[in-house]
Amino acid sequence: MPAKQAHIASLDGLRFLAALSVLISHAAYQLYPPGNGDGMSRLAWNLTHLASFGMTLFFVLSGFVIHWNYRQSVQEPGGLRAFFIARWSRLYPLFLVMFVVGITGEVLARGYFFRVMLTTPFFLTFTSTWWYWQIDGLHIFEIYNHPAIGVMWSLATEAFFYAAYPLLAPMAARLSLHRSILSIGLAGALAAATALGLFFFRNEIAAYAAKHFNVADTGQFIFWLGYTSPWMRLSEFLLGVFTAQLVLAGFRLRPPIADAIGLFCFAAIAAIFQMRNPVSMTDTTLVAPCFAGICLAAASDRSRIGILLSAPLMVWGGEASYSLYLLHGPILILSLRPSIGLFDRASPLPWFFLTTIFAILIARFSYASIERPGRRIFRALASKPRAPSEASEITRY
C-alpha cells in the first residue's frame, strides 16, 4: 500500500479561518439585515460579504485535502467503500442532530409538516443542491427558516464533489508537475467563465428559469445556480485537487516566495472586497485561483503563513471548524433573543466578541462529544471488518 502523506497542520488553521469568516459574516447580518445594502458602510459590506470568502476557501481546501489523502486509496480494492464511509462518518452525526432540531423547529413554528416531510429525503441524502428541486412551487430551501438548516446547502454541494472525486482521482493522480500547472490554469479559466457567464447572461438565465422551471422569483434560481449549486462551485474544488497534485508532483516553494504568493493572494481577495462590485455573489469564484495560492503557501514548509496557521490555537479551532460552521447560526440567534437577555444589540462589539468566543467553546464541546464519538460509531457500523485500504484520520476535514 502506498505511503500515506503527512498531515498538514496549517490546513487546519485555514479551516478555522474559513469557519470564522462565515460566523463573522452572519453576525454582521444580524446587525445589518439583507436589503439595506445601499446604505451600508464599506466596513459593514465587507463583513457581511465574508461568507463568500469562507465558502470558496472551504471548497478549494476540500479539494486539496481530499486529493492529498485519498488519491490512491480510492483506486485500491475496497478503497472506494472506505472513502465513502470515512466521508459519511465525518459529516453525518452532527448534521443529523442539527437537522432534527431544525425540522422540529420549523414544524412547531410554521406548521409546514407536509412540505418538510417531502423535502427531508433531499437533505438526508445530501442532494438538496444538486438540482433546483421545488415543493408546491417553492425551492426546498425557501421552505425552511430555521438557522440550524440555513448552512446545510454546503454539505450537499460537498457531497456532490465526493461522488465525483473517485472518477477524477485516477487522472489527477497521474498528472506531472507541468500538467498540474496546466490543469490549475484550466480550472481557473473555468471559474472565471462560469462567474462572468452568470453575470453577463443573468437575464437570459432568468428567462430560461421562468419558462422551463416555472419559477416566479428568478432571483432565487440565480442564487441557487450561482452560489449554492455544485455546478458553480465545481471549479473551486478542482483547483484544490490540482493544487494538491502540484505539491505531490514535487513542486516546492522557498519560504519567502511562499509568503509573497500568500500575501499577494490575500491582497487580491481583499481588493475584491473593497469594490462592492455587481458580481459580488460570484466574485470569490472569479478569483478562486487566489484561494488555491493561499493553500499552496500554507502547505509550504517553514513559510511564515504556514507557521502562523499551524499554531496550536489555530489547529485547535480548525479541528472544531465543522461544529462551528453548523452551530454558529442558532447560537447567534439565541444570543440576541430578548427573553434570554444575554447580550444587547445596541452594544455590537461586546456582543460580537463574547458570542464568538462562546460559539468556539460550544463547537469544541460538540467536536468532543458528538463529532468524534459519532464518527467512531458510524464507521464501526458501516465497516465490518474495516477495509485495509481505508484512509486513516490523517486529516480531520
Q: Is 139 helix (H, G, I), strand (E, B) or coil?
A: strand
Using pLDDT thresholds of 50, 70 and 90, give the confidence band for residue 395.
very low
Q: Report pLDDT digits (tens) over 206-232.
A: 999 998 888 878 888 999 999 999 999
Q: Is the pLDDT of residue 64 over 80?
A: yes
Domain ranges of the chain: 9-382
> Can you tell me the distance from the alpha carbon of 325 to that of 363, in angstroms, rounded to the nearest whole number?
8
- Phi, psi (degrees; rounded to nearest 5) at 77: -60, 125
pLDDT of 393 > 50? The answer is no
Per-residue pLDDT tens for 10-26?
A: 999 999 999 999 999 99
Integer Cα distance of 89 and 76 in angstroms: 20
**Predicted confidence band of residue 350 (pLDDT cuts 50, 70, 90):** confident
Judged by DSSP in three states, 138 sits in: strand
Most confident of 75-84, 109-118, 176-185: 176-185
Q: Report which DSSP code applies to 185.
A: H
Residue 135's SS3 state is: strand
Q: How confident is the model at residue 254 (pLDDT cuts 50, 70, 90)?
A: very high
The CA angle 51-54-57, to the nearest 5 degrees, is 150
One-letter amino acid of 207: A
Question: Is the predicted pLDDT of residue 392 greater than 50, yes or no?
Answer: no
Looking at residue 387, what is its pLDDT? Answer: 45
Over residues 277-290, the pLDDT tens digits come to 666 678 899 999 99
Measured at the CA of 225, the angle between CA 143 and CA 159, to 5 degrees, comes to 80
pLDDT above 80 (res 87): yes
Mean pLDDT to the nearest integer, 239-266? 95
- Mean pLDDT confidence for 79-97: 93
d(CA 360, CA 25): 15
Kindly tell me the sign of the dihedral angle through the C-alpha atoms of 142, 146, 150, 155: negative
pLDDT band at 324 (very low <50, low <70, confident <90, very high): very high
> Does residue 276 register a pLDDT over 70?
no
96: CB partners within 8 A, 6+ apart = none
How far apart (Å, rounded) are the C-alpha atoms in residues 215 and 320?
A: 38
Res 245 pLDDT > 80: yes
Task: Kindly report, residue by residue over 114-162, the tens digit of the pLDDT.
Answer: 888 889 999 999 999 999 998 887 888 888 877 889 899 999 999 999 9
pLDDT at residue 224 in the model: 93
